[in-house]
């Protein structure tokens, strides 16, 4: 029989940053509203990327992805959960610091939807609740990379799940471009920030896993 799952309450303290982040995010959304100007992050390359409303589906999968990965690791792998929370907290708050120091936004959203269907109305709904400011770096990109790293960290014997999450993370990053929520520069900034934050948090994970495998291997009988 499988052991019953119990919530490791001590590890929950690593998620206490979340309400602080959400509150500060809402505050920054009010401070950087475009009325006082901002650095527009779009490049000529962004005009070549077509608007594709179907990508709103992977874009919105970002939210359950982050939650499901966090809950599973909380119940199954405390070390991986703590690394995941540390990555998200550091990268998300650094993103907010950049928004505060360099107010930014993008001007790529279509004024009129090119088509009228369920998905364009879905995108229009997103536009109404999420502003076009505070886009560099993209926390959608940062969170997607963080979830993929956490799955590679905590699901060492499930290659299908690892690669499936990686593909989903890539689709989420692309979706930010195709539904015009972010510019190419925002995505690149999110990727660079993720790499810088992940390096000190995850650099010892491969070495630790190698040592554990070495210890679990039976000793060969001497000749």
What are the pLDDT digits (tens) for 156-166? 889 999 999 99
Rounded to the nearest integer, the mean pLDDT of the chain is: 89
| More confident call, 76 vs 85 | 85
pLDDT at 219: 44
pLDDT at 5: 60
Residue corresponding to tokens 């076009």: 132
Q: What is the 3-state secondary structure (H, E, C) of 156-221?
A: CCCHHHHHHHHHHHHHHHHHHHHCCCCCHHHHHHHHHHHHHHHHHHHCCHHHHHHHHHHHHCCCCC
> What residue ranges do the domains of the chain occupy?
52-203
Q: Is 98's pLDDT higher than 80?
A: yes
| More confident call, 207 vs 177 | 177
| More confident call, 203 vs 193 | 193
pLDDT at 143: 98
Contacts 24+ apart (CB under 8 A), 17-22: 17/85, 17/88, 17/89, 17/92, 17/93, 21/89, 21/92, 21/93, 21/96
pLDDT at 37: 83
pLDDT at 205: 64
Q: Is 221's pLDDT higher than 50?
A: no
| More confident call, 94 vs 34 | 94
Q: Is 212's pLDDT higher than 50?
A: no
User: What share of the chain in percent tops pLDDT 70?
Assistant: 86
pLDDT one-digit tens code per residue, 114-160: 999 999 999 999 999 989 999 999 999 999 999 999 999 999 889 99
pLDDT one-digit tens code per residue, 5-51: 666 778 888 999 999 999 999 998 888 766 678 899 999 999 999 99
What's the average model confidence in pLDDT over 45-58? 97
């Amino acid at each position: 029989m499988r052991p019953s799952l119990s919530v490791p309450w001590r590890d929950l303290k690593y998620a206490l940053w979340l309400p602080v982040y959400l509150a500060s995010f809402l505050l920054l959304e009010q401070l950087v509203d475009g009325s006082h100007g901002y650095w527009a992050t779009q490049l000529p390359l962004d005009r070549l990327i077509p608007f594709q409303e179907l990508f709103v589906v992977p874009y919105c999968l970002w939210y359950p992805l982050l939650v499901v990965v966090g809950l599973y690791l909380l119940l199954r792998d405390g070390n991986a959960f703590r690394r995941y929370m540390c990555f998200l907290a550091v990268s998300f708050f650094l993103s907010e610091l950049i928004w505060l120091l360099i107010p930014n936004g993008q001007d790529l959203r279509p004024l009129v939807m090119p088509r009228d269907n369920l998905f364009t109305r879905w995108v229009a709904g997103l536009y109404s609740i999420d502003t076009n400011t505070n886009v560099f770096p993209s926390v959608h990109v940062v969170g997607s990379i963080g979830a993929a790293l956490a799955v590679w960290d905590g699901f060492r014997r499930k290659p299908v799940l690892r690669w499936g999450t990686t593909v989903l993370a890539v689709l989420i990053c692309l979706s930010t471009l195709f539904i015009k929520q972010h510019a190419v520069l925002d995505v690149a900034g999110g990727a660079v920030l993720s790499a810088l934050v992940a390096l000190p948090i995850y650099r010892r994970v491969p070495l630790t896993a190698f040592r554990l495998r070495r210890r679990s291997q039976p000793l060969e009988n001497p000749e």
